[in-house]
């Protein structure tokens, strides 16, 4: 990036003076003599103006020599992190459907650190035009090897020439992206000399037309001179591109599917409260009056545990809903730790007459154990004077002193009723009957409706299961 007086200007797509750059040479660029970036800037500026879309254009400056593209091109500008330009472009394009987003990137930026973002944006068919400056080298950082460096080409970090055994082969971005379905336009052009620049001008314009029409992803790879990093004079540079680079990276229109592509329109955002209330189901029937302070109501911690699939978590939710409908303070917390994968699960429900501190129940007042492992694990943690409700199938178990235990044939009842998956409803019935939680009976059947089944035929079955659970618990207590 030696000091230079190269002038780029005299076009309405470019600023008259480069005041963002500052300095004395206010109409000169920061680019080295013979650099391709300035030429490409001008081609983009020309296309913007010619298509009448200048106001809509947002040019992304990459990390690389073109990091200051915003000094020159007269449009909106966003500077992006190294390699992330197409993710940034995606964000802008999704948010501003009317914007024409132009991602401008070097080979290190696009094909090395940003390769994933490149492929993914292309694969999604984002509405962006990508200008990929392939100069076979990292310019800005002083001439290191790039993913596009030719075999045998010497750079600072491949002093003996790129050796494919050590560093692999040059990446062909057009060919790579040409394997994807979504891109609309892919072309490789060159800036080596005037005839090539004419063809490049055409490609740049097509890419912008596709953006103007909102059709999707356009990718233009530009073989570009970097005489400074490659240590070549103008003639050698021209020959290098025309003979060596073109051999590795043939110039070609890979695809132009714009005629067969429909414009993509993104919806307008709706910010109205009515819409939000509607989509979140914020209706009279789903909303409840809030809990009220009632210090006479004793706080209760309930733990419900069993195998995954037994409906442990939804039983907890039903209980929480029931407490909530009764205007008690309530919290439900699923233990989502490693055991969830191992097939057992549990949740904590706290019900209180005042705001709830810890939502985690370490010492339950009531433990509902659906299976033996849960009983064995949690029975020792039950609070003194507490209650255990378990399925009759758990077998004999010595209950800790000072704790009551009630076995309910929940599995049996649910199976008899033809709904073996509804053990949890039977258990809820048992809890309602003997749990001593101080919640009204109607609240339980109301909660069934909320949590389990909004279909009336299931509701009546669930009510029956609830009653059978209650009855079984009553009988079990008296025996």
Partner 1 sequence: MVSRLVAGNSAVIIGAMYAGCDCFFGYPITPASEILHEASQYFPLAGRKFLQAESEEAAINMVYGAASSGHRVLAASSGPGISLKQEGISYLAGAELPCVIVDVCRAGPGLGNIGPEQSDYNQIVKGGGHGNYNTIVLAPNSVQEMCDLTRKAFDLAFAYRNPAVVLADGVLGHIVEPLRFPAQAVEPKIDTTWAVSGNRETKGNVITSIYLNFDELERHNVRLQRKYARIRENETAYEEYKTDDARIVLVSYGISSRIARSAVDQARREGIKAGLFRPITLFPFPEKGLMLPAARNCTFISVEMSNGQMQDDIRLATGCGRVELVNRYGGNLIRVEDLMEKIREIA
Ligand X SMILES: Cc1ncc(C[n+]2csc(CCOP(=O)(O)OP(=O)(O)O)c2C)c(N)n1
**Window 29-68: residues binding ligand X (CB under 6 A):** 63-66
Q: Which residue has the tokens 């039977």?
A: 426
Partner whose footprint covers residue 238, from partner 1, ligand X, none (CB < 5 to 8 Å by kind): none
Here the tokens at position 21 are 């750059």
Partner whose footprint covers residue 65, from ligand X, partner 1, none (CB < 5 to 8 Å by kind): ligand X
Q: Quote the DSSP letter at residue 349.
A: E
Partner whose footprint covers residue 87, from ligand X, partner 1, none (CB < 5 to 8 Å by kind): partner 1
Torsion of CA 306, 307, 308, 313, to 10 degrees: -10
Site for ligand X contains 146 (CB under 6 A): yes
- The nearer residue to ligand X, 140 or 447, going by C-beta atoms, is 140
Q: Write down the least CB distance from residue 319 to partner 1, Å.
A: 11
Partner whose footprint covers residue 108, from ligand X, partner 1, none (CB < 5 to 8 Å by kind): ligand X
Choose, by CB under 8 A, the member of 4, 49, 50, 56 that binds partner 1.
56
What is d(CA 460, CA 351) in angstroms, rounded to the nearest whole number? 27
Q: Quote the DSSP letter at residue 356.
A: -
Beta strands 57-61 and 100-106, pairing class? parallel
Q: For 289, phi and psi rounded to 5 degrees?
A: -65, 145
Contact track, partner 1, 342-381, x by CB under 8 A: --------------xxxxx-x-------------------
Count of all residues that appear for the chain in the document? 479
- The nearer residue to partner 1, 89 or 394, going by C-beta atoms, is 89
Choose, by CB under 6 A, the member of 133, 349, 406, 427 that binds ligand X.
133
What is d(CA 112, CA 97) in angstroms, rounded to the nearest whole number? 29
- The nearer residue to partner 1, 63 or 407, going by C-beta atoms, is 63
- The nearer residue to partner 1, 80 or 218, going by C-beta atoms, is 80
Site for partner 1 contains 266 (CB under 8 A): yes
Site for ligand X contains 405 (CB under 6 A): no
Element (H or E) spanning 463, and its range?
helix 456-478
Residues in 93-152 that interact with partner 1 by CB under 8 A: 93-96, 98-101, 116-117, 120
Choose, by CB under 8 A, the member of 70, 217, 219, 249 that binds partner 1.
70
Q: For 74, phi and psi rounded to 5 degrees?
A: -85, 80
Element (H or E) spanning 164, and its range?
helix 164-167
Here the tokens at position 261 are 């592509």
- The nearer residue to partner 1, 237 or 313, going by C-beta atoms, is 313
Beta strands 218-223 and 185-190, pairing class? parallel
Choose, by CB under 6 A, the member of 46, 74, 109, 238 that binds ligand X.
109
Number of residue whose CB is nearest ligand X = 106
- The nearer residue to ligand X, 138 or 444, going by C-beta atoms, is 138
Q: Write down the least CB distance from residue 422 to partner 1, Å.
A: 21
Partner whose footprint covers residue 397, from partner 1, ligand X, none (CB < 5 to 8 Å by kind): none
Site for partner 1 contains 20 (CB under 8 A): yes
Element (H or E) spanning 157, and its range?
none
With contact defined as beta carbons under 8 Å apart, do 407 and 369 qualify?
A: no
What is d(CA 427, CA 347) in angstroms, rounded to the nearest whole number? 14
SS3 label, residue 113: helix
Residues in 210-249 that interact with partner 1 by CB under 8 A: none
Site for ligand X contains 409 (CB under 6 A): no
Only segment of 141-149, 200-208, 286-294, 438-446 that touches partner 1 (CB under 8 A): 286-294
Size of the site for partner 1 (CB under 8 A): 75
User: At a CB cut-off of 8 Å and minimum separation 6, what does 68 contact?
Assistant: 20, 21, 30, 61
Q: Which residue has the tokens 């209706």?
A: 283
Label each residue of 90-106 as H, E or C.
HHHHHHCCCCEEEEEEE
Only segment of 13-21, 140-148, 253-261, 329-337 that touches ligand X (CB under 6 A): 140-148
With contact defined as beta carbons under 8 Å apart, do 230 and 239 qualify?
A: no
Interface with ligand X (CB under 6 A): 63-66, 82, 106-109, 133, 135, 138-141, 146
């Amino acid at each position: 990036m030696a000091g230079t007086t190269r002038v780029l200007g005299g076009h309405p797509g470019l600023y008259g003076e480069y005041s963002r750059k500052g300095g004395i040479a206010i109409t000169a660029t920061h680019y080295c003599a013979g650099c391709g970036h300035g030429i490409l800037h001008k081609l983009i500026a020309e296309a913007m103006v010619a298509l009448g879309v200048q106001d809509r254009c947002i040019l992304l400056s990459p990390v690389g020599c073109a990091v200051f593209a915003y000094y020159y091109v007269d449009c909106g500008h966003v500077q992006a992190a190294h390699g992330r330009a197409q993710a940034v472009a995606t964000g802008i394009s999704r948010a501003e459907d009317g914007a024409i987003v132009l991602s401008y990137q070097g080979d290190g930026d696009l094909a090395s650190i940003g390769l994933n973002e490149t492929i993914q944006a292309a694969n999604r068919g984002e509405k962006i035009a990508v200008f990929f400056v392939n100069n076979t080298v990292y310019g800005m950082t002083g001439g290191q090897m790039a993913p596009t460096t030719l075999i045998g080409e010497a750079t600072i970090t491949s002093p003996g020439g790129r050796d494919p055994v050590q560093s692999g082969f040059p990446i062909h971005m057009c060919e790579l992206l040409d394997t994807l379905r979504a891109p609309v336009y892919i072309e490789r052009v060159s800036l080596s000399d005037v005839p090539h620049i004419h063809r490049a001008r055409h490609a740049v314009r097509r890419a912008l037309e596709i953006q103007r029409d909102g059709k999707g992803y356009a990718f233009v790879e530009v073989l570009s001179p970097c005489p400074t990093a490659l240590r070549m004079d103008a003639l050698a540079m021209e020959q290098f591109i025309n003979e060596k680079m073109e051999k590795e990276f043939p110039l070609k229109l890979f695809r132009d599917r714009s005629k067969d592509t429909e414009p993509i329109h993104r919806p307008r955002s709706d910010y109205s409260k009515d819409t939000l209330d509607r989509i979140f189901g914020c209706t009279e029937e789903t909303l409840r009056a809030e809990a009220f302070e009632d210090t006479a109501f004793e706080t209760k911690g309930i733990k419900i545990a069993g195998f995954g699939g037994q409906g442990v978590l939804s039983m907890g939710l039903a209980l929480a809903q029931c407490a909530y409908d009764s205007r008690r303070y309530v919290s439900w917390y699923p233990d989502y730790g490693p055991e969830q994968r191992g097939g057992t699960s549990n949740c904590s429900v706290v019900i209180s007459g005042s705001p709830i501190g810890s939502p985690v129940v370490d010492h339950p007042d009531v433990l509902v154990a659906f299976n033996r492992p849960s009983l064995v694990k949690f029975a020792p943690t039950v609070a003194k004077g507490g209650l255990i409700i378990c399925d009759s199938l758990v077998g004999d178990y010595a209950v800790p002193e000072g704790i009551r235990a009630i076995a309910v044939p929940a599995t049996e009842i649910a199976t008899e009723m033809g709904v073996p998956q509804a053990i949890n409803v039977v258990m809820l019935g048992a809890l309602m009957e003997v749990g001593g939680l101080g919640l009204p009976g109607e609240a339980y059947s109301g909660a069934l409706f909320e949590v389990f089944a909004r279909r009336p035929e299931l509701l009546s079955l669930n009510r029956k299961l609830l009653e059978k659970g209650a009855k079984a618990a009553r009988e079990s207590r008296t025996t």
